[in-house]
């Protein structure tokens, strides 16, 4: 009953918010927050509960809802991010048009994502999947103009993925006579390797599109650039993770680890890990070349998806724990970064990295939020990202995958570079004159910053809190339980103990603080009293490091174009040209249609004569 209540409140609240918005914007905002917070509390209370319930039927197929450790883990992440994004929207969306529609689509998308992870059959799963896809399309296209192009790019690729999923669902039903996920898991163990590979490819194509796995990632950068920033946080941190949930569902819940590891004679796993490694490297360096802050973070999200899939696809307990923990961590720090960039755009009117700078004194809380988010993204010790990346690296090393480990390391190097660019170009250096009167972010924006920053640090120092739940999830999927404590993981191959790292950092900070105390007094100079190569920077000019990666760009840009996007563009042009030629056959002239019929009949007659002679 609790599962049904969650979905009833979620879907009903979305439409009620829209209706009440027509009467009062204040009542609409209050209800949107109230529903989001209430759902967060309900899902939190569902912790530890398991079971499934049939709630309806569709064409004699029972529709089933179920909850377990895996679905709860994703559900709490979904609802937490949506709640914080709705709170952030209170200021961000003020004064904009069609705000009622915005909240309807935001809450509807959230409801559909909850439905996906709580589905116990593939009919419900597919229905919720489509609701999520179309509501996301409407939110991506919300600002119209260029947003319509980004939205169309997203929905076309989503439809292709959905068609692959639908074919897989129909094949499962025709083979086993059921679409209940638990029943399919029991039956599919008898399937041939070829059939299992066929089903896996179909579903992973659908989930690969949604998670923006290379080479079917091209919809994500424009979608992030054009979507409202609160939804960009949802889109990057959690909506694309529905693809990750799908990966776990197919590889481990449906197939099981043993069947997955044997797919294609074991080659399927290596292909998936190779795609994950490519997904890390190429988007990382594409992120480095972006001057739009949201586009930079969009490419970064694709790269981090590579880390998650790399951990999940290795097929070991440690790797799966690392991948799932990195999913959870990426939810926190990427939502934080997108919301912070949204606050900067809200206050300055731009997210162009070459037009900002010096905002550390104007928006100090936002600066701390971006610092926490980028530290988690890079994997700095005492942040949650450090722990999950450590687990993934250790998995790759222990399983003798040096090239995959090197690819992950290269991705981390690139992450340091674009994270530094993000922080430096927004907050450090010279403040442009037109930003002299910039105000701090509103309180409704600061609250999500504080909560997400605390999550990043808390689960970096005490990773055992989420790892204990993730350990139970992997155990339910057939893996061995690991020895996890509040500070990390105890292992014969080398423990992870955050308390030791914390102590080392504390000593290092004390030493730095001591040298700072005994050093000379600081000298205060005017902001524009800086120079580059001995030449003063003119007043009003942005700091001297604008485009400071240009020398590297000239070297790597020819190799880091988005060739797949260009390929798809050329493919669309070719299909459009072919369609135009086919369309010309339908000219509307009856005489031409008669000629077509005569030609067709002539071909049939000639073919018949030829067959008789043969």
| Alpha helices per DSSP H over 462-562 | 464-476, 498-518, 550-556
Residue 61: beta bridge partners? 58
pLDDT tops 60 at residue 544: no
CA distance 607 to 226: 55
- In the prediction, which pLDDT does 211 show? 86
- In the prediction, which pLDDT does 337 show? 93
Question: What is the per-residue pLDDT across 12-41, written as a single tens digit (0 to 9) for each?
Answer: 988 898 888 888 888 888 998 999 999 999
58 φ, ψ to 5°? -140, 110
Eight-state DSSP code of residue 439: P
Question: Average pLDDT in the 296-314 region?
Answer: 89
Closest CA to 202 of 176, 174, 175, 170: 170
Cis bond leading into 215, ω under 30°?
yes
b (16+ CB within 10 A) / e for 121-151 = bbbbbbbbbbbbbbbbbbbbbbeeeebeebb
Residue 488: beta bridge partners? 485, 497
For 86, other C-beta atoms within 10 Å of its C-beta total 26
C-alpha torsion sign, points 115, 121, 125, 128: negative
The pair of structure tokens assigned to 194 is 């070829």
Question: Average pLDDT in the 152-176 region?
Answer: 87
Question: What is the per-residue pLDDT across 401-455, written as a single tens digit (0 to 9) for each?
Answer: 888 888 888 888 889 988 888 888 888 877 777 878 888 888 889 999 999 999 9
pLDDT tops 70 at residue 318: yes
Confidence of residue 478 (pLDDT cuts 50, 70, 90): confident
User: 275, 232 in Cβ contact below 8 A?
Assistant: no
The pair of structure tokens assigned to 179 is 């679409």
Q: Return the C-alpha torsion angle 300, 304, 309, 312, nearest 10.
A: -170
Question: What is the per-residue pLDDT across 69-122, written as a single tens digit (0 to 9) for each?
Answer: 898 999 999 999 999 999 999 888 887 888 888 899 899 999 999 999 998 888
User: Whole-number mean pLDDT of the chain?
Assistant: 82
Residue 62: beta bridge partners? 57
Question: What is the per-residue pLDDT across 572-599, written as a single tens digit (0 to 9) for each?
Answer: 777 777 777 766 666 666 666 666 677 7
């Amino acid at each position: 009953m609790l599962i049904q209540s969650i979905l009833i409140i979620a879907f009903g609240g979305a439409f009620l918010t829209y209706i009440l918005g027509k009467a009062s914007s204040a009542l609409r905002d209050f209800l949107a927050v109230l529903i989001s917070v209430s759902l967060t509390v309900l899902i939190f209370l569902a912790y530890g509960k398991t079971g499934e319930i049939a709630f309806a039927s569709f064409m004699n197929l029972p529709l089933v809802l179920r909850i377990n450790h895996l679905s709860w883990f994703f559900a709490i992440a979904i609802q937490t991010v949506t709640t914080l994004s709705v709170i952030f929207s209170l200021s961000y969306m003020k004064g904009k048009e069609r705000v009622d529609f915005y909240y309807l689509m935001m809450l509807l998308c959230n409801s559909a994502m909850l439905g996906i992870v709580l589905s116990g059959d593939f009919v419900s799963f597919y229905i919720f999947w489509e609701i999520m896809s179309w509501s996301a399309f409407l939110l991506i296209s919300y600002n119209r103009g260029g947003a319509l192009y980004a939205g169309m790019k997203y929905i076309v690729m989503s439809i292709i993925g959905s068609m692959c999923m639908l074919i897989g669902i129909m094949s499962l039903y025709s083979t086993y006579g059921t679409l209940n996920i638990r029943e399919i898991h029991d039956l599919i163990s008898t399937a041939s390797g070829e059939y299992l590979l066929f089903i896996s490819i179909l579903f992973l194509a659908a989930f690969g599109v949604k998670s923006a796995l290379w080479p079917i990632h091209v919809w994500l950068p424009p979608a992030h650039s054009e979507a409202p920033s609160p939804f960009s946080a949802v889109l990057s941190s959690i909506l694309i993770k529905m693809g990750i949930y799908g990966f776990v569902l197919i590889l481990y819940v449906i197939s099981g680890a043993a069947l997955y590891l044997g797919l294609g004679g074991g080659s399927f796993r290596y292909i998936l890990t190779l795609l994950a490694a490519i997904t890390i490297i190429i988007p990382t360096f594409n992120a480095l070349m972006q001057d739009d802050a949201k586009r930079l973070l969009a490419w970064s999200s694709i790269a981090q998806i590579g880390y998650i899939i790399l951990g999940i696809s290795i097929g070991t307990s440690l790797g799966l724990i690392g991948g799932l923990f990195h999913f959870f961590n990426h939810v926190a720090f990427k939502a934080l970064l997108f919301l912070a960039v949204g606050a900067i755009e809200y206050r300055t009117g731009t997210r162009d990295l070459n037009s900002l700078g010096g905002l550390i004194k104007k928006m100090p809380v936002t600066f701390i939020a971006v610092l926490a988010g980028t530290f988690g993204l890079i994997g700095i010790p005492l942040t949650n990202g450090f722990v999950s990346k450590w687990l993934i690296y250790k998995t790759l090393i222990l399983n003798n995958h040096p090239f995959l480990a090197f690819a992950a390391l290269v991705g981390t190097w690139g992450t340091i570079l674009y994270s530094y660019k993000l922080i430096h170009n927004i907050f450090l250096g010279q403040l442009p004159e037109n930003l002299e009167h910039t105000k701090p972010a509103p309180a409704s924006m600061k609250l999500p910053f504080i909560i997400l920053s605390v999550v990043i640090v808390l689960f970096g120092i005490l990773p055992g809190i989420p790892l204990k739940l993730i350990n139970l999830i992997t155990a339910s999927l057939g893996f061995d339980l690991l020895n996890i404590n509040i500070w990390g993981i105890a292992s014969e191959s080398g423990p992870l103990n955050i308390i030791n790292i914390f102590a080392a950092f504390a000593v290092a900070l004390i030493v730095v603080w001591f040298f700072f105390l005994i050093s000379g007094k600081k000298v205060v100079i005017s902001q524009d009293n800086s120079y580059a190569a001995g030449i003063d920077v003119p007043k009003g000019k942005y700091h001297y490091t604008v485009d400071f990666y240009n020398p590297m760009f000239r070297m790597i840009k020819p190799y880091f174009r988005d060739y797949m996007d260009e390929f798809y563009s050329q493919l669309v042009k070719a299909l459009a040209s072919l369609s135009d030629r086919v369309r010309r056959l339908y000219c509307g002239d009856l005489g031409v249609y008669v000629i077509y019929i005569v030609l067709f009949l002539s071909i049939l007659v000639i073919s018949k004569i030829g067959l008789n002679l043969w």
